[in-house]
Homo-oligomer: A and B are copies of this chain.
Amino acid sequence: MPLSEFTLIDRFFAGHKNLNSQVKLGVGDDCALLEVPVGYELAVTMDTMVEGVHFFSDVAPEDLAYKLLAVNLSDLASMGAQPIAVSLALTMPEIEGVWLQQFAIAFIKFSKQFGVDLIGGDTTKGTLTLSLQAMGLVPVGRALKRSAAQVGDLIFVTHKIGDAGLGLKILKEEYDAGIEAEQVKSRLIRPTPRVNEGIQLRNYANSCIDVSDGLFADLTHILEASRVGASIDWEKIPLSDAVKKYIAETGDWQMPLNAGDDYELCFTVSSQKLSSLNIQCSCIGKVESNLGLRINKAGVTQEISRYGFEHFS
């Protein structure tokens, strides 16, 4: 019998012991079954990656598996949810046994590292397209939403931003970062979903989002959902040495603000709760009642009207 959609997922993905006790039935039936403990809600997200749009055709299957997991877990992180399970819809042009095996082995490996169980999915024929639905647990009423930023909140971003955008320029051979190229590219190829930070932020943050489309675009989502505005300070944006060097050489200072794929968390915290905040992050600005997003750079305030990366634009 030829390999078929019946056997693909079973052959490569089944038979792995589930890590999470909430998974009552995993791969192999018409549905999976999840238990949600009393006092918790299930956070659900879905992200798709398409060949030629979200990744290059020559991407390593291991890198694709990693990133598919990372971008979805980043969405859970931004709500403060603890990831438990994922479903995979894998569409591929034809069965390439070696590619699929490498992808599957990596997918299972990284799933275990991230602490999630693959509970089901669907394998179909077509252009290489991967949709993942990720599910996580968050205590009832404690999820971090985009819509609860308050005037006066300070705005933070975790770690540094812009490396993924620079990594893309390096991959496309638009920029030569010298000896730092590999490290910068790894931030694009293997971003870290800030799951633990998100869980801690349940105690501090009023609002939160992950920086997938770019800081401008994602912060704007918070502002619009919360019906507030903000000012940010260019000098406070946390940048790596490689990004600073790129800006010095090119003058393209907006790149780290418009580029997506960093998967850092952008969140707002009221000043009363600042003292107990103990994750790696930088304060970049403040929420204001004046709608819109403004950036202060070298004493000049500019209104931001541009959005980040948009697939259809």
Contact = CB atoms under 8 A, between A and B. Distances in A.
Interface of A: 1-6, 8, 24-25, 28-36, 38, 41-54, 75-76, 78-79, 81, 85, 87-89, 91, 94-95, 119-122, 124-127, 129, 131, 133, 135-136, 138, 140, 143, 145-147, 209-210, 213, 217, 221, 225, 307, 310-313
A119 to B, nearest CB: 6
Given A31-B44, A124-B54, A6 B225 contact: no
15 contacts: A1-B313, A6-B221, A31-B76, A33-B43, A33-B138, A38-B38, A44-B120, A46-B87, A46-B89, A46-B120, A47-B122, A48-B91, A50-B125, A51-B126, A125-B312
A133 B46 contact: yes
Contacts of A50: 91, 124-127
Contacts of A310: 2, 4-6
A281 to B, nearest CB: 18
B30 A210 contact: yes
Contacts of A131: 46, 48, 89, 122, 131
* Residue of A4, A49, A221 with highest tally of chain B CB at under 10 A: A4
Nearest to A210: B30
Nearest to A124: B48
A242 B51 CA distance: 43
- Copy number in the complex reads 2
Nearest to A34: B42
Nearest to A127: B127
A36 to B, nearest CB: 4
Contact of A35 (B41, B76, B91, B311): B41
Nearest to A121: B46
Contact of A87 (B31, B44, B79, B88): B44
Contact of A30 (B1, B28, B45): B45
Given A133-B46, A312-B95, A29 B146 contact: yes
Contact of A31 (B45, B126, B127): B45
A-B pairs, 8 with minimum CB distance: A50-B126, A4-B310, A36-B36, A127-B127, A89-B131, A31-B43, A131-B131, A31-B45
Contacts of A52: 126
* Residue of A3, A35, A124 with highest tally of chain B CB at under 10 A: A124
Contacts of A95: 312
Given A6-B307, A127-B129, A30 B138 contact: no
Contacts of A78: 30-31
Contacts of A35: 36, 41-42, 140
Contacts of A217: 6
A88 B138 CA distance: 22
Contact of A311 (B5, B25, B140, B143): B5
A250 to B, nearest CB: 26
A47 B123 CA distance: 9
